[in-house]
Amino acid sequence: MAEVEPKAAIIGWPVDHSRSPLIHRHWLRELGLKGDYERLPVAPDQINRLKALLVEGNYVGANVTIPHKEAAFRLADRADSVARELGAANTLWFEDGQLLATNTDGFGFLANLDERLPGWDRNGGKAVVLGAGGAARAIVWALLQRGFAPVLVLNRTLEKAENLARHFGAGVLAAPLSQAGTVLKDAGLVVNTTSVGMHDEGTFDFTLEQVRPDAVITDIVYTPLRTRLLREAAERNLRVADGLGMLLHQAAPGFEKWFGRKPLVSAALRQIILDDLGSSA
């Protein structure tokens, strides 16, 4: 009988623009492994069939993106402590017929900063997270793991920031985005998790004047790679890290589970994605 090659997928709606197939196919090629990674668009009215879709398609697992991360967590047979903490999953795999789930967004965020700015978390202190969506939740979790305190979540819709702060309890505070100017005073880390700055659209109405001189500024928007926020930070000689590495690093744990080898987030991989972003800009 012919050996079945392992196959994984990115599940979302839509998924046409996902770069995940480029990342995983690069790793399969680089490591000389048999297998594939596909796009699997799943409409919201079909997501309850998640496990059946994966079984029918012979997938060994999947990544999950917007808008299905919460559903993936709910529909998995078992979720690890990170996915449970976040109430959302972006990585699924099978073990003994059970569909298991984790969330690697926070891991990807930390791994990117560890790689680009070694020692970035050494001074800790006050961190400001702009935005209170799904990515912000994973990042707040990650910052708490590294001992940042307090973590201030600023959001256009205050209620969402308040919900997030309540979820994590003491150490996480909420404020409206309009208060960024004052809240940024003495911040050691500023993270943009809103879509402001994507394709150079939208601007924040604050400056980085008040942050600490040793502050790190990072943006998880990576189109363009140097967002307006990062450009301003660089002009002020602050340390900056773009968000592309988060995308690359969050992919690695899933690859290892599905294909059995630890992949490398290399300059060559980064260039492949940059070339693709350039060609689709």
In the DSSP assignment, the letter for residue 2 is P
Residue 133 in the binding site for ligand NAP (CB under 6 A): yes
Among 88, 164, 165, 247, binds ligand NAP (CB under 6 A): 247
Q: Which of 69, 185, 257, 262 is catalytic?
A: 69
| Closest among 72, 53, 65 to 17, alpha carbons compared | 65
Report the SS3 class of residue 53: helix
> Cα–Cα distance between 27 and 19 in angstroms, integer?
13
Closest distance to ligand NAP from the beta carbon of 76 (Å) = 19
Residue 136 in the binding site for ligand NAP (CB under 6 A): yes
Instruction: Confirm if 254 and 8 have CB atoms less than 8 A apart.
Output: yes
Among 15, 76, 101, 132, binds ligand NAP (CB under 6 A): 132
Annotation says 7 is catalytic: no
The 176-205 site mask, x for binding ligand NAP (CB under 6 A), equals -x---------------xxxx-x---x---
Residue 167 in the binding site for ligand NAP (CB under 6 A): no
Buried-exposed string 5-37: b where 16+ CB fall within 10 A, e elsewhere: ebbbbbbbbebeebbbbbbbebbbeeeebebeb
Report the SS3 class of residue 244: helix
Residue 220 in the binding site for ligand NAP (CB under 6 A): yes
Residue 134 in the binding site for ligand NAP (CB under 6 A): yes
Residue 221 in the binding site for ligand NAP (CB under 6 A): yes
| Closest among 186, 189, 211 to 142, alpha carbons compared | 189
The residues annotated with a catalytic role in the active site are 69
> Where does this chain bind ligand NAP (CB under 6 A)?
66, 105, 108, 131-136, 155-157, 160, 177, 193-196, 198, 202, 220-222, 243, 246-247, 250
